[in-house]
């Protein structure tokens, strides 16, 4: 029995084309990958060069140091920013000045006696109850600014002699008391005079 041999050349030719196509695709992919890698290396190299040029100029006191480090009046941080350690001192406290007031003097006041009661006994004299009335020639605010003051005064006309007493005042608020006098005659004149003035 005799069999006819099958042709082998035609199928081999048809199978070569897929392999050639795969090789061409692989070569193209490798070429593109190689180009991308070369571009990436070039960019990294330029960035490294720029970083190197920046790092050569150190903001620290010594160019051998890199941030963070101590700079002039502060610290250079890792990101290159500067943090100052210089603090501006607070302004010195200045106490408010008040205008100096002239001291009070006895001449700034007038003092009179106000009679509350009077009983006379002919030629034998009179019994009187008097109270001093103080008047300030300036303003009430100026009087108040001096604090508490003491004013000493003399009353003459009493048959026993001069009566010395003291009143105090803060502003227009006066603290005083009345005096009981006995005159030797109904014609005796009773008067008052400021002796001294004392303020703190």
pLDDT digits (tens, 9 = 90+) for 90-126: 677 676 666 677 888 999 999 999 999 999 988 788 9
Range among 65-69, 75-79, 88-92, 161-165 rated most confident: 161-165
Confidence band, pLDDT 50/70/90 cuts, at residue 54: very low
**Global pTM?**
0.50
- Which residue is it, tokens 């003491």? 150
Could you give the CA distance from residue 121 to residue 85 in angstroms, rounded to a whole number? Answer: 93
> Which token pair is 117?
């009661």
* E-strand stretches of 34-122: 69-71, 74-76, 82-84, 109-120
**Angle value at C-alpha 150, between 145 and 155, nearest 5 degrees:** 135
Look at residues 192, 193, 179 and name the one whose alpha carbon lies nearest to residue 127: 179
pLDDT at 21 over 80: no
> Which pLDDT score is estimated for 53?
44
User: For residue 118, with 0-12 CB atoms within 10 Å meaning exposed, 13-18 middle and 19 or more buried, which class applies?
Assistant: middle
> Which pLDDT score is estimated for 98?
60
Residue pair 198/150 in contact by the 8 Å Cβ criterion = yes
Strand order in the sheet with 173-175: 173-175, 163-170, 148-156, 191-198
């Amino acid at each position: 029995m005799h069999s006819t041999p099958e042709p082998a050349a035609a199928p081999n030719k048809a199978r070569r084309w897929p392999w050639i196509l795969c090789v061409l695709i692989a070569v193209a992919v490798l070429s593109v990958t190689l180009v991308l890698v070369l571009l990436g290396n070039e960019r990294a190299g330029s960035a490294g060069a720029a970083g190197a040029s920046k790092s050569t100029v150190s903001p620290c006191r010594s160019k051998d140091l890199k941030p963070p480090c101590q700079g002039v009046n502060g610290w250079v941080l890792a990101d290159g920013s500067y943090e100052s350690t210089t603090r501006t001192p607070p302004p010195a406290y200045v106490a408010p000045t008040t205008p100096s007031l002239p001291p009070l003097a006895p001449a700034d006041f007038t003092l009179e006696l106000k009679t509350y009661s009077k009983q006379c006994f002919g030629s034998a004299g009179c019994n009187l109850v008097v109270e001093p009335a103080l008047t300030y020639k300036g303003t009430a605010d100026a009087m108040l600014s001096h604090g508490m003051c003491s004013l000493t005064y003399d009353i003459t006309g009493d048959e026993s002699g001069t009566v010395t007493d003291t009143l105090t005042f803060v502003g227009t608020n006066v603290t005083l008391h009345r005096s009981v006098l006995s005159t030797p005659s109904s014609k005796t004149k009773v008067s008052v005079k400021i002796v001294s003035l004392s303020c703190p």
